[in-house]
Structure 1
Amino acid sequence: MQAGALHVALAAPTVAVKRLHLRWRGNMSDARLILGDAWERGYGDLEWRSWIPDRVMPWYFVTYDGSLTHAYGVRTGARALCFWQVDPLGISLWADVRSGAMGVQLGERTLDACDVVCRAGRADESAFAALHAFCRQMCPNPRLPSQPVYGSNDWYWAYGKNSADTVRVDAQHIVEFSPTGANRPFAVIDDGWQPGRGSDKAGAGTWDRGNEKFLDMPGVAADIRRIGARPGLWIRPLQAPADAPDGWRLTRERAVLDPSLPDVLQRVRDDITRLRQWGFELIKHDYTTFDVFGRWGFQMGSALTRDGWTFASGSDRTTAEIIGALYQTIRAAAGESLLIGCNTISHLSAGHFEICRVGDDTSGTEWARTRKMGVNTLAFRGAQHGAFYVCDADCVGVTNAVPWTLNRQWLDLLARSGTMLFVSLAPDALGAEQRRDLRAALALAAARQQLAEPLDWQRTVYPQRWRLMGRERNYEWVGIDGAGPP
C-alpha cells in the first residue's frame, strides 16, 4: 500500500508481458446495479446495468445495493490501460501493458503500472455524489481553468465549410448573446481552416498555415479578440502530412504519425506552439486515440487494437506511457492556452488538459444523435467534472434542422449544469426565440453553478429529472410522436 492505494508494479526482465490480471475473490451478490466508464468518450452507451461478467469497464466501476454505492478504480495517470470486470464471486482488474499490440519488454526497468483505490459508500449520499467524490479521490491533481468556459464552436453548422468571414460573424454572434464582464466567451474555429480542407488536398496534416479561406491565421485570432471573444482553434496532431518521412509513420497505419518517436513529438510540439503563438487561447486537439489504436472507443473493448503491430521506437514502453508522453508534449507546448482533449483517453487526460470532450459528437442535423450522445454523456460522466477536468458534453447545434422545442432543453440543461456550454450558431437559425434563449443560457454558463445531478439515471439512459442549481427540473427528450427508428 502507498498513500492510500494498492500500488501495482511489474518487473519482467526476460519476458514480454501483455496483461496483468488481479483477482479479488469475494461475495458481490448484494450489488443490484453496476456502472462503468469508457476508454475515451461515451457513445450514448453508458448506463447502470445488472450482472454482465464479461462486461469491460475501463478505469473504474461503482456498485449500488439499494442503499450504498461502493466504488473501485485506478488513479488517473496510470502507465497501463486498465479495465475491470465484476461477477457475483469477485472482482477482476486487467492492466494492459502492451506496446501497441505486442508484449512490453521492460528489461531491467520496473513499470509502475497503476494505483488501485476504492471507496466505501455512505448512507447519507446519493449514487451520483458517491461517484463524484470517488472521481476526486482518483485524481489528486486536476488541471482546471480559473473561470467557467463557454462560447461557440462552428462545427455543427458549418461542418468544415467555414472561412475567415464566417468566423468573424460567429464571433460577433457569440459576443452579442453573451453577458458583459471579464469572463469572455470563446469563439472556436473547428476543422476546415487547414490546407487539406482547401484546394490543396495534398496539404492534409499540415498545420503551419491556413488554406485560401484563411490567409492570415494570426489576423483571424486578432479579429476574434477585437470583436470581444477569445480565439480557439482545432487540430489533428497525429495526421501525417504527405512529406512525412516513412520512418515517422505508424506501422499499423501509414497515414498516422508514430507518437513514440522524438522527431514526431518535436513536430507536434512545434505545431501546438505555433497555434499558441498565432494568438489562440484555446486549442482543441482531436483524433489521437483513433489514430493510435485504429478504433473508436466503443470498438476497443478488451482488445483495444488489432494484433500484430508495435511502435517504431520498439516495445520497451507501454502504449499508456507513449500516450502520456504525447499528452505531456501537447501540454507543455500549449503554455497558458487552454486545451480541450477530444477523442483522448480520459484517465490519461486528467491533470494535463483543462477540458475533456467526454462524449461523441452531438449534431446540428438530427435531434436523436444529440439526445443519445449529449444527454447520456452529461448524465453518466458529469461526475468527472471538476474532479478530472472540465467536462464538455458537446455543443448545442442551433440550426433549422433540429426542432427548437427539443434543442432548447439541451441548451437549458447544459447552461444550468455547471459544466461547459458551447453552441454552434447557424446565422439563418437565429430567430427571436433562439436569441432570447441563448442570452439566458449564456448568462448562466458564464457564472459558476452547482454541478448537475441526474435523479432518475438508474432507470433510464436519458435522464429527465435533474437537480440543477439547487432545484429539481424536468425535461422531455422524446417528442409526442416517440423517438423514431434508429
Structure 2
Amino acid sequence: MTVFPDILRRPDFVSVRVDEKTYVLEANSDITWSGPGVDVEAQISANGLHIALDASAPIKTITLRWRGSFPAGARFLGDAWERGYGDLEWRGMVAERPLPWYFLATNGTQSAGYGVDTGANSLCNWRVDDGGITLQLHVGCGDSGVQLGGRHLEVATVRQLESEASAFETARAFCRMLCPSPLLPSQPVYGGNDWYYAYGNNSRDSILRDSALISELSPGGDNLPFMVIDDGWQGCRAPENGGPWDISSARFGDMDDVASQMQQLGVRPGLWFRPLLTTANVPDSWRFGRRGGQRHLGGMTLDPSVPEALEFVAEDMRRFREWGFQLVKHDFSMMDIFGKWGFDMGTNPTGNNGWHFADRTRTSAEIIKDFFGTLRKAAGPDVMLIGCNTIGHLGAGLFELQRTGDDTSGYEWERTRKMGINTLAFRMSQHDTFFAVDADCVGLTTHVPWELNRQWLDVLARSGTPLFVSADPKALGAEQKQAMREAFAVAAKPQPTAEPLDWLDTTSPTRWKMGDEIKTYTWSQ
C-alpha cells in the first residue's frame, strides 16, 4: 500500500510565468492546459510523465502542483543545483526549502523518490508542504522568457519510485532510473592533484616531482594513476584564473613536453582549466551580455550560446588532447554563467535582473547541455572529463567524473569535514549511476592533523569513488607514504559502493558499510 503522494498523474494545477506576470492555465483536455500564447502538455506513459511546451509568448517558468500528503514524521533529502556546500541533509518538511532536480522521502520503513530525468531541457526545482508537491520548471533563457519561435519543447520527464528498501538503496535505484545512459570510467580513478598544497604556486619541476611520487606509491599494473595539474599553469593567470589557454607560464614551458615527461614517470597527465573566462582579445559578440560585455575581474566571460565562442572553447579542449593530457577538469562554468554559487540560487537559479543569453530561442538548460556536449565532442573518447562547478544533472552521460561538493582544504580540517564528507555521503547515490562521484581531494599538508586526514584518505579509498591526494612533500614521512601506498592499492581496484549508515541522523556520517565490513570514523579531535 502506497503511503506517499502519487504524481504520475494529471497535475491539479498548472501555471506559467511570462515576463513578470503569472497565468493560471485552463485545462482543455486530459493532458493539455492553455493560456495566452501558451500550451502545456503532461502526457503519462510507462516511462513517466512527459512535460512539453508550445508557446508564442516568452515563457520563464512552468509550475505544476499535485495535491497530497506525506506520512507523519516523513523526512526529506534534496539534491543541489551544482555542488553541495556541506548543506545536504535529511530534514523534516520545510515548505520553502529548494529541492533541485530530485528529492527523496522516507518514513523509516518505506521510501520514495521524485525527480526528473537527467538531460532535461529545463532547470527543475521541487518543493514539498503539508498540502502536496510543487515542481517549477525554469524554461527561460537566463532570466528572460525563452522565444521558441514555434518550436515544440520537450521540457522534462517526471519520475517517481516507491520502495520498502532502505532509504540509501532507494536513492541508488532512483538515480539509476533517472539516468539510463551514464558515461563511466573503464577503470577506477585515483592519483594526485596539486591544488590543496600548491594553491596555484606550481611549476614543471613540482609537477614532475609529484608525478614521480604518485607513480612510486601506486600499485602498478595496467590501471595507472593520474596526476592533475590544477590552476597555476596558464600564462595569464593574474589577476584571475582565466585563459587564454594556448600559452603556459614560464614555470612550465611547453605543455606537450610536460605531459610527455609525466607519462615517462608512470602517471596519466591531467589538466585543469576554466573554459568560459579569458583575457584573449575576442569579438564583442562572444561576450556574455549578462555583464554587458564588461571585463569580469580581469577576464572576459564567454557566452556559451554563441557558436563561435563554443568553437573557441572546443579548440582549447582539442589542444589539451593533442598535448597528451588524458583527463581534463573544467571548472567555474556555473559561476561564469549565472554569476553566483549554488548555495545562493535558492528556488530561482537564474536571478531576477532580466539577463539573457545571446541566443534567446533556447532555454538555459539547452544552452548548458550544448556547451557540455561541445566539451565532450572536442575531448574525444580517450580524454576523461571532470566537471567542477557544473550541473551534474545536465552533465550526466557527458562527463565520466563530477566534483559533487565544494572545495575541501589543505589548511582547515573543518572545511574538509563540512564539504568532503557531506558530499561523499549524500551524493553517493549518484556514484556509478550518473557518473563517478569525486568528493574532492585529501589535502595532505602540515596544517591538517594527520589523524583526521588519515581517516579521510581511508574512507575515500574504500568508498569505490575516485581518490585524489594533494601531497605536500613537507608533510610526507614514512607513515604518510605507507598510508598513501595502501590507499592507492585499494582505490586502483573496483570496490563496492560504500553506504553511510547514519546519514539519516548527521550531516557528517561516521559509520560506513564497505562490502561486508562496517567501519567507524572519528571526524573531530
TM-score range, shorter-chain basis? over 0.9
- Tell me, yes or no, if the aligned pair for 1:104 and 1:318 is still in contact at 8 Å: yes
Tell me the residue number matched to 1:484. none
- Tell me, yes or no, if the aligned pair for 1:258 and 1:311 is still in contact at 8 Å: no
- Tell me, yes or no, if the aligned pair for 1:202 and 1:242 is still in contact at 8 Å: no
Using the TM superposition, give the Cα deviation of residue 30 of structure 1 relative to its aligned residue in structure 2, in angstroms.
3.4
Using the TM superposition, give the Cα deviation of residue 242 of structure 1 relative to its aligned residue in structure 2, in angstroms.
3.9
- Tell me, yes or no, if the aligned pair for 2:410 and 2:447 is still in contact at 8 Å: yes
Q: Where do 1:394-409 residues align within 5 Å?
A: 394-409=440-455
- Tell me, yes or no, if the aligned pair for 2:143 and 2:356 is still in contact at 8 Å: no
Query: Aligned equivalents of 2:511 and 2:357: distance in 1?
Result: 50
Query: Aligned equivalents of 1:230 and 1:105: distance in 2?
Result: 45
Tell me the residue number matched to 2:99. 57
Using the TM superposition, give the Cα deviation of residue 197 of structure 1 relative to its aligned residue in structure 2, in angstroms.
2.7
Tell me the residue number matched to 1:175. 215
- Tell me, yes or no, if the aligned pair for 2:290 and 2:357 is still in contact at 8 Å: no
Query: Aligned equivalents of 2:283 and 2:240: distance in 1?
Result: 15
Instruction: Give the partner amino acid of 2:363.
Output: T
Tell me the residue number matched to 2:62. 20
Using the TM superposition, give the Cα deviation of residue 303 of structure 1 relative to its aligned residue in structure 2, in angstroms.
2.0
Structure with the largest fraction of strand: 2
Tell me the residue number matched to 2:53. 10
Tell me the residue number matched to 2:384. 338
Query: Aligned equivalents of 1:105 and 1:305: distance in 2?
Result: 16
Query: Aligned equivalents of 2:241 and 2:402: distance in 1?
Result: 28
Using the TM superposition, give the Cα deviation of residue 3 of structure 1 relative to its aligned residue in structure 2, in angstroms.
4.4
Query: Which residue, 256, 264, 269 being the options, matches 2:309?
Result: 264
Query: Structure 1 segments of 4 or more deviating over 6 A?
Result: none
Using the TM superposition, give the Cα deviation of residue 309 of structure 1 relative to its aligned residue in structure 2, in angstroms.
4.0
- Tell me, yes or no, if the aligned pair for 1:131 and 1:383 is still in contact at 8 Å: yes
1:192 partnered with 2:235: no
Tell me the residue number matched to 1:84. 126
Using the TM superposition, give the Cα deviation of residue 251 of structure 1 relative to its aligned residue in structure 2, in angstroms.
1.5
Structure 2 SS opposite 1:108 = coil
Q: Where do 1:172-321 residues align within 5 Å?
A: 172-197=212-237, 204-253=242-291, 254=294, 255-321=300-366
Query: Which residue, 188, 195, 198 being the options, matches 1:158?
Result: 198
Deviation string, structure 1 residues 431-454 (Cα, Å, up to 9, x no partner): 111011111111000000000100
Deviation string, structure 1 residues 31-81 (Cα, Å, up to 9, x no partner): 521000000000000000001011100000011112011110000000000
Using the TM superposition, give the Cα deviation of residue 346 of structure 1 relative to its aligned residue in structure 2, in angstroms.
1.1
Structure 2 SS opposite 1:194 = coil
Higher relative contact order (CA 8 A, sep 6+): 1
Tell me the residue number matched to 1:44. 86
- Tell me, yes or no, if the aligned pair for 1:31 and 1:63 is still in contact at 8 Å: no
Structure 2 SS opposite 1:329 = helix
5+ long unaligned stretches in structure 1: 480-486
Query: Aligned equivalents of 1:48 and 1:267: distance in 2?
Result: 42
Query: Aligned equivalents of 1:256 and 1:297: distance in 2?
Result: 18
Q: Aligned pair in 2 of structure 1 residues 153, 203: CA closer, same or farther (>3 Å)?
A: closer
- Tell me, yes or no, if the aligned pair for 1:203 and 1:242 is still in contact at 8 Å: no
1:428 partnered with 2:474: yes
Query: Aligned equivalents of 2:379 and 2:198: distance in 1?
Result: 26
Q: Aligned pair in 2 of structure 1 residues 465, 204: CA closer, same or farther (>3 Å)?
A: closer
Query: Aligned equivalents of 1:402 and 1:241: distance in 2?
Result: 35
Instruction: Give the partner amino acid of 2:308.
Output: D
Query: Which residue, 465, 469, 472 being the options, matches 1:419?
Result: 465
- Tell me, yes or no, if the aligned pair for 1:160 and 1:197 is still in contact at 8 Å: no
Using the TM superposition, give the Cα deviation of residue 305 of structure 1 relative to its aligned residue in structure 2, in angstroms.
3.0
Deviation string, structure 1 residues 305-325 (Cα, Å, up to 9, x no partner): 333344453321100000000
Instruction: Give the partner amino acid of 1:272.
Output: M
Tell me the residue number matched to 1:129. 169
Tell me the residue number matched to 1:350. 396
Using the TM superposition, give the Cα deviation of residue 164 of structure 1 relative to its aligned residue in structure 2, in angstroms.
0.5
- Tell me, yes or no, if the aligned pair for 1:450 and 1:470 is still in contact at 8 Å: no
Deviation string, structure 1 residues 244-272 (Cα, Å, up to 9, x no partner): 22221111233310000001010011010
Query: Which residue, 115, 127, 135 being the options, matches 1:93?
Result: 135
- Tell me, yes or no, if the aligned pair for 1:240 and 1:249 is still in contact at 8 Å: no
1:373 partnered with 2:419: yes
Query: Aligned equivalents of 1:221 and 1:440: distance in 2?
Result: 26
Tell me the residue number matched to 2:179. 139
Using the TM superposition, give the Cα deviation of residue 193 of structure 1 relative to its aligned residue in structure 2, in angstroms.
0.4
Using the TM superposition, give the Cα deviation of residue 202 of structure 1 relative to its aligned residue in structure 2, in angstroms.
9.4
- TM-score normalized by the length of structure 2: 0.89
Q: Aligned pair in 2 of structure 1 residues 472, 4: CA closer, same or farther (>3 Å)?
A: same
Query: Aligned equivalents of 1:279 and 1:30: distance in 2?
Result: 57
Using the TM superposition, give the Cα deviation of residue 204 of structure 1 relative to its aligned residue in structure 2, in angstroms.
4.1
Tell me the residue number matched to 2:35. none
- Tell me, yes or no, if the aligned pair for 1:195 and 1:204 is still in contact at 8 Å: no
- Tell me, yes or no, if the aligned pair for 1:364 and 1:399 is still in contact at 8 Å: yes
Query: Aligned equivalents of 1:399 and 1:196: distance in 2?
Result: 27
Q: Aligned pair in 2 of structure 1 residues 300, 85: CA closer, same or farther (>3 Å)?
A: same
- Tell me, yes or no, if the aligned pair for 2:231 and 2:241 is still in contact at 8 Å: no
Query: Aligned equivalents of 1:109 and 1:267: distance in 2?
Result: 28
Tell me the residue number matched to 2:31. none
**How many positions carry a matched residue from both structures?**
474
Instruction: Give the partner amino acid of 1:478.
Output: S
Structure 2 SS opposite 1:196 = coil
Deviation string, structure 1 residues 85-143 (Cα, Å, up to 9, x no partner): 01121111110011011011112111111000010112xx2211110010000000000
- TM-score normalized by the length of structure 1: 0.96
